[in-house]
Amino acid sequence: MTKDMTSGNPTQLILGFAVPLLLGNIFQQLYNMVDSIIVGRGIGVDALAAVGATGSINFLVLGFVIGLTTGFSILISQYYGANDLDEMKRSVTMSVYLSIGATILITTISVLGARPLLEVMNTPANILEDALTYIIIIFWGIGATIAFNLFSAMLRALGDSRTPLYAMIVSSLVNIGLDLYFVISLGMGVAGAAYATVIAQILSCFFCFFRILGIKDLHLKKQHWSFHPELLLRLFKLGVPVAFMNSVTAIGVMVLQFVVNGFGSIYVAAYSTANKIMNLVEQPGVTFGLAMATYAGQNLGAGQYERIKLGLNKTIQISTGVNIVLALIMLLFGKQILALMVSGSEVEVIQIAYQYIVICVLALWVLGLLFIYRSSLQGMGDTVIPMVSGAVEFITRIVIAVTLPSIIAFHSIGIAEISAWITATALLMATFYKRINVYLKIKNN
């Protein structure tokens, strides 16, 4: 069901949009945790470390893909908010063309660059081959990932966050079932976990595609598929900065992974396990940000600038409250949750992972602000400053990751993360209020 977010109660609209999206993302992260449990307990800690060692590389590629498709959806949501359906449909078709080109390019570069990247990142020798096996299979399936993210972004741009939820639930359940079959029953090792992920992604892609076919506002005619260079360029200018922002952030995470790899496979396993949990507790911030991107995009298209500011304030209040509660839960029960993911005998892994989580959750509310301000700016069509904020995150991570390990060892990784969040958020906040005040001044004059 599509949703017009240019009228009505902002809090109800944003929550109504965000909750299904949050549930879908939680399902995805729960699957990732179950995947770790199956790999860690079914194969062993080295296999868990191997899959974890690919996380930052996967984040680099996936972040680029998500950024690209999110950028495309900005224009779609703005045209939808302005009720310009013809231009919206042309934006959809041009997004498809760009995504096909991106699939060919990204698959080629990713598959060819996987081994060199793993080696450059100082991946421990005892897990290198398993890590390579896993990530190569994932990269061959990147086309399905791009298609799913494009279709999901289109649906969200029109206010439909339920279909991606249903797709994610079905995909996650299938993924878990295939994990158990491939890894446990067939003994396929980390390759089985990778194949399960790719197959489930293909399924979720088709799920969203068939939903799109049933949306009247997205019924495309032959003329909508004609080539529009100017529109293609606009989409490119929106999508590429968001994609590069995510990639620059991911490169910073890769540097952290490089530092962690130097501590040995125990620390790699602890870091990857902790990040699985952190990815879960970060989801409210992520989804509130995505909700604000659609909300801001539609309201900008409709010229409702005051509603953007009002919606942002309400979203910040909700996000901050939720993140404080989540931080308290992790501080109190973090070790017990970690013990579900690795064998109880791996006491050192649990202790190291918990130390990292404690540092990060203390600034979880700041990360929530980062997602909200960044996505709001992107929804308003400003993708350059969010890209710059990604560079700020990158520089902060690099400086701290390079200078502090010799002083405080593994604790420097968590400090690098939260420092990156704080510096980037400061830039995004200042830019948002400057931009929204300009829009309001123009409207009032």
pLDDT score for 372: 96
CB contact burial 272-311 (16+ within 10 A = b; e otherwise): bbbbbbbbbbbbbbbbbbbbbbbbbbbbbbbebbebbbeb
pLDDT score for 373: 97
Contact 119, 172 (CB under 8 A): no
pLDDT score for 438: 87
Contact 284, 22 (CB under 8 A): yes
Global model pTM greater than 0.75: yes
What are 356's two structure tokens?
A: 């990292």
Binned at pLDDT 50, 70 and 90, residue 92 comes out as: confident
Residue 138 pLDDT > 70, yes or no? yes
pLDDT score for 345: 57
Q: How many Å is the Cα radius of gyration of the chain?
A: 21
Query: Averaged over 40-44, what is the pLDDT?
Result: 77
C-alpha to C-alpha distances, 169 to 62, 93, 162, 174, 201, nearest whole angstrom: 19, 27, 11, 9, 11
Which is nearest to 280 in space by CA: 337, 233, 228, 335?
337
Percent of the chain with pLDDT over 90: 28
What are 341's two structure tokens?
A: 């993911």
Query: Averaged over 297-322, what is the pLDDT?
Result: 90
**Higher-pLDDT residue of 350, 45:** 350
Residue 126 pLDDT > 80, yes or no? yes
Residue with tokens 């790719």: 198
How far apart CA 416 and CA 32 sit, in angstroms, is 24
How far apart CA 140 and CA 74 sit, in angstroms, is 28
Average pLDDT over all residues of the chain = 86
Most confident range, picked from 28-37, 58-67, 336-345, 366-375:
366-375
How far apart CA 301 and CA 280 sit, in angstroms, is 32
